[in-house]
Structures are given as structure tokens and as C-alpha cells.
Chain A
Amino acid sequence: MTQIRSFIRAFSKIEGVAVAGVLALLYVVFIMTSPEVFTKPRIYTSFMQTISPQLIIGLALTFVITAGEIDLSFPAVVALGGFMFVWAYNHIDGAMGPWIGLALALLVGAGIGWINGIMVAHLGVPSIMATLAAQFFWYGVTILVADGKSIALTGIRDEPIYEVFVGRIQGILPDQRGVPVGLPAQAVWALAMTIFMWFILNRHKFGEAVMFIGDNPDVARVMGINVEATRVQLFVMMGVMAAFAGVILTLDINVFFPTQGEGYLLPVMAAVFIGGTSIAGGVGVIVGTFFGAYIIGSLEAGVVASGISGYWVQLVKGLVMGASIILNILLGEGRIAGYSEKLRQWGVPMGGSSGSSYGGGNGGDRASIPEAPPPDAA
């Protein structure tokens, strides 16, 4: 009995376990309602393809929200980053063209992030206002420089950069009706970045600074953290990763269009919040963002494939997001432990051996409930 309880308690402490459970439940429902789609690998590779850019942005946004800030300008960075890449690819001849394009895109992302960071950290503009203005401005710049038109990337599939970032890795997933199904390379990139960012947030000085700043900037300051510099670095990172996501998206669909990234704003934020990162700052859950991105990205296709009318998609999204967040709060605040405390008070028997953790404390002022004798006394 005690072992099971302590197992459940330990299990619930594993990062992102609640969201992973929601995702698993979701896929079980999908498999039951439309087995012909959800027992085959192709739907999953399609998810990996579409979700990866959102996940990459979500990882950076997790840091930003953990620091108690927000960034609304990443859709514009996705668009302008994509444009820079396409522009360099079309204007610079030779094998280096697309790589210069990538570097240019990341540089522009860093620049936009730096300006956001300066506005927030040094001019004291609240991040929601600074980045909202940035979103309009840089989206406007993208429309101007692209002349409002979409641009095709002819021949990009023959470039090595295509294989590296959005190619298909064969031989890992099972075939579908004899046709080989490749694993999208961007999913591998996104997974590697998830692991890397987990270490940066949880095991690196930068991540610790971000958490303390989000928790209480005054504490961070008096403990010797350079709050302003960290905030600027944070927004630069956000810009770079959004631009990288933009390049991946552009590569994947072989075309740049000025409104790309527009549809990312709410899903990416939803993914971060579903994952358990608190809007209040101080706590960031990278693993949660990973599963959150997959939950949000799978819902639409899943609901439609289940045969329910597409009109239900938004409603289901809202439902799943609400349920995930409530679950996170229940687990995160240790209320599960509170419930088992209640059970004990109601006289549900529990094993011995837990005396040490409850003994000692200030028992004196509690009404005297007769204590059960230790097991050996019987």
C-alpha cells in the first residue's frame, strides 16, 4: 500500500508526466475512433513534420515565459527569417548560398531579439507591449521587402541543406503498405534541441538565472545575477530559434510566403502552457512543452480523422488545454499529497515506516488524536 502510494508520488514528480499522460490518452482515443489512420506510421510522420517548427519556438518561449516575460513577435521572425533564407538562396550562387541564407536568417532573428531585449531590459517597456509592436513592425517589414508575394525555392530539394534539416531518414520507421516511410529530419533536430534546452534550463547557470529572474528579479539582482544582460540574451535566443523554425518551415514547404508563422502564435503559447510552464514565471517545464506541442499539433488531424465534424476542432482544443492545465496545477501544487493526507485523517490505514518524516514537528498544538501504537508493540 505504502509502496504503491510512494511510487505514485514519485511518478507524479517526473517532469512532464501529466502532459505525457494526456497525449497518450489522446492517441488511445484516436486509435480507437479511427484505427485505419492511427495505427499506420504516416500520420505520425506528418505530425512530426508540422509540429517541429512550433516545438522549436516553444522551447525558446518556455525560457521567456519562465523569466516572467512574453514574446508575441515570433510569427514575424518566422516570416522574416524565412524571407532572408529564400533571398540568399535565390541571389547567392554556388553551394554556399543556402548556408549563407541560414546564417543571415539567424542573424536577423538575433537582431530582432536583441532589440526586443533592449526595449524590455534597458528601457523598461513591458515585454507584451514591446513584442506586440515588434510583431507589427517586422511583419510589415517582411511584406515590404517581399513585395507581398510568395517566393518559390526551385531546386532546393537537391541541396544538401534540404536533406540535413527536412530530409527523410529511412530505415527507422516501419513501411506502410510496402512503401517506405522516412523519419522527418526536423523531428530529430527538434528532439535534440529539446534535450539540449532541458540541460540549459535545468543544469546551466543561464537557466538558473532565468528561473530566479522569473521568480523574483530583486532576489536575482541581490544574489549577483545580471538581470538586464540575462533578459537581453533571452530575447536574442528567442529570435534565433524563431528564425531557425522559419527556415525549417520554408525548406519543408519549398516556398516562402509573407504570412508564414501567422498561425503559430496561439498554438505555440498553448503548447507551453499545456506543458506546465507557469505564466507567473519562475518555473519552466521543457519536457511539458515537448508533449504540449504534440498535443496541440495532433488535435486537428485527430479530431477530423475521428469522423467528427471539423467544426468541433477548436472546442476540443480548448477542452484539452483546460484539462491539461488543471491537471498540471493539481500535480504541481502537491495537492495529490494533500488528498492522501485527508485519507489518512479519515482513518484509511497506512503502513508503518513513515514515522520518521512526520515525527518531530510541532505536534504540541494539535488536538490530541490518539496515535496508533507502533507495529512492534502489538
Chain B
Amino acid sequence: MAAEYALQMVNIEKYFGRVCALRNVNIAIGSNEIVGLIGDNGAGKSTMVKVLTGVHRPTSGDMYIAGRKVDPRRYSVKRAHEYGIETVYQDKSLGEKQVLWRNFFIGRQVTLPFGFINVKKEKEIAQEIMLNTIGFRGRGITVDSKVSKLSGGERQGVAIGRAMHFEAELIVLDEPTVALSLKEVRKVLDFVHQIKVGGKACIYISHTITDVYEVADRFIVMDRGEIVGDIRKEDTSLQELDQYLLSYSHGLRDRAE
């Protein structure tokens, strides 16, 4: 586990039919690094996340997780979980009509023989995660509550708690704070700080530059499927970063490229 990088992508390309979604993407994420991934809508952030979490298969290029080369043909969400990559999405991390304990274990159930679920065990562990990792106390929420009863922040708490429980080496947060109140955004940011303290890596995607600036060690800027900027936090200020991004969204850099 002493690998220098949690994740490396080398010349990753992704086409949907003839549409190029990712072009020549090269990234290396340190094993204890928080990277802010920023860019406008359609810049390719989500596609990149889906490639690295096994939802989409890259058209070409290589990927290394914790220094080990990944076979793209056999890579899947399950495989990504095994490699310790966990993802928290804005809105599609949890099944809303399902009870909490099912949501903790969906896709990697604790099973008895013949694929039956060990409900008792799953509920015990879910209870443990809720109390110790997420810190849900009182509030009338139990492992048998349905997700639809939870607030947006609580939902992200569940998804993040799940990622922590499964000992993720790299946690990807894809717009985790959209539709959250300020107080709940605070909780999510505190969690990202926790990842750093815990010695793990994180890719944090958000439109809110102030949030990204607070938590990240480094910023990777994407535009139209390509990586156009890679800036360390000590080399920039919040204002400079903001200006830099605005120049992209106004298309001022088109000619320079």
C-alpha cells in the first residue's frame, strides 16, 4: 500500500460513437492528496469519473490503481470497489425507496449460502457505521428508515459513511454539495478534511470554487474533454483561480490553445 499514487491515468480517451468525450487525459493522484477537479458543464469531469469508477470503459489508454495496472476489459464497478475506489454522487448514490441498511451493502452484500442476504449482520454493521462513522444519534433515524426520510446532507453522510466503512483508498465526490444547505455543505467539507487526515486520497468535483479551494491540495482544470490546467494550491490564490476559470467559460483562451 506504499504506492506513490492512488491513481494514474495515461492517455485515456473516451468516445461515445464519434463524439469525443475525453481526449488524451493524463492524471496522477497522490496516495494522500486531495485533488479538486473543476471545469464547466460538459467539460468531461463526470465522464472521467465514470471511467475511473468502472461505469464506462475507456476507448483507449492505461490506468494504474495504487501502482497496479488495470485491465480495462475486466474493469467494472465491482472491481473498482475491490481496488478501494468509492464514489459519492450528487443524487444517485442511494436508492430512495430502500431502507438504509440495504443502501449500505448494495452491490456487495454480506451473504449466506446461495446468495441470500445476512440481514442481521448487515443491520449490525449499518448500525455501527451510523453511530460511529456518520454520527447519527437520536433524530428518529434507524437502519430501517427509508432514505426518502433523510435530508440531503444526511444522505451524503450515509454515502460518505459507506465509502469510509469500505476503507476506500480513493474517494471520489461528484458534486456532493449541490442542493445542500450551508450547514450541510460544512459537514461534507469537514469530511473531506477527514480523508486527508486519514491518509487517503480524494477527487473533489464541484462548481463552488470556494469549497474546492478550501479542501484541495491541487486543482485540475478540464475543458472540452481535455485537461487544460494543473495548479498547485501554493501557486495560486482563490482570486487567481477564479479568474483563470472565468477565462475558460468565456472562451477567451480558445485562440491561445
Contacts and interface: CB of A to CB of B under 8 A. Distances in A.
Given A203-B117, A205-B111, A359 B138 contact: yes
A125 interface: no
Contacts of B97: 211, 215, 282-283
Nearest to A206: B115
Contacts of B55: 221-222
B116 A224 contact: no
B99 to A, nearest CB: 10
Contacts of B87: 222
A346 B14 CA distance: 61
B129 to A, nearest CB: 16
A219 interface: yes
B36 to A, nearest CB: 21
Given A199-B116, A204-B115, A224-B78, A219 B94 contact: yes
A211 B77 contact: no
A199 B93 CA distance: 25
B139 A360 contact: yes
Interface stretch (B61-69, B100-108, B238-246): B100-108
A222 B98 contact: no
B95 interface: yes
A216 B96 contact: yes
B106 to A, nearest CB: 5
A205 B108 CA distance: 9
B89 interface: yes
Contacts of B250: none
B117 A205 contact: yes
A216 B109 contact: no
A171 interface: no
Contacts of A175: none
Interface in A224-240: 224-225
B107 A223 contact: yes
B52 to A, nearest CB: 12
Given A224-B77, A359-B138, A215 B96 contact: yes
Nearest to A333: B148
A33 B104 CA distance: 52
Which has the most chain B C-beta neighbours within 10 Å: A215, A221, A358? A215
Interface string B102-127: 10001111010011110100000000
A326 to B, nearest CB: 19
A369 B44 CA distance: 52
B47 interface: no
Task: Report the interface size class on chain B.
Answer: 20 to 34
B32 interface: no
A282 B103 CA distance: 13
A324 B55 CA distance: 41
Interface in A187-211: 199, 203-206, 208, 211
A205 B109 contact: yes
A361 B140 CA distance: 9
B76 interface: yes
B137 interface: yes
A17 to B, nearest CB: 17
B156 interface: no
A313 B114 CA distance: 45
B115 A225 contact: no
B203 to A, nearest CB: 15
A262 interface: no
B92 interface: yes
B78 A358 contact: no
A159 interface: no
B116 A219 contact: no
B53 A222 contact: yes
Contacts of A225: 106-107
A220 interface: yes
Contacts of A282: 95-98
A360 B140 CA distance: 9
Contacts of B200: none
Given A212-B95, A219-B93, A360 B138 contact: yes
Nearest to A278: B97
Contacts of B119: 203
Interface string B173-195: 00000000000000000000000
Given A220-B95, A360-B137, 19 more contacts: A203-B119, A205-B116, A208-B102, A211-B98, A212-B98, A215-B98, A218-B92, A221-B77, A222-B53, A222-B87, A223-B106, A224-B77, A225-B106, A225-B107, A282-B95, A282-B98, A358-B140, A359-B138, A361-B140
6 contacts: A199-B116, A215-B96, A215-B98, A223-B106, A224-B78, A356-B138
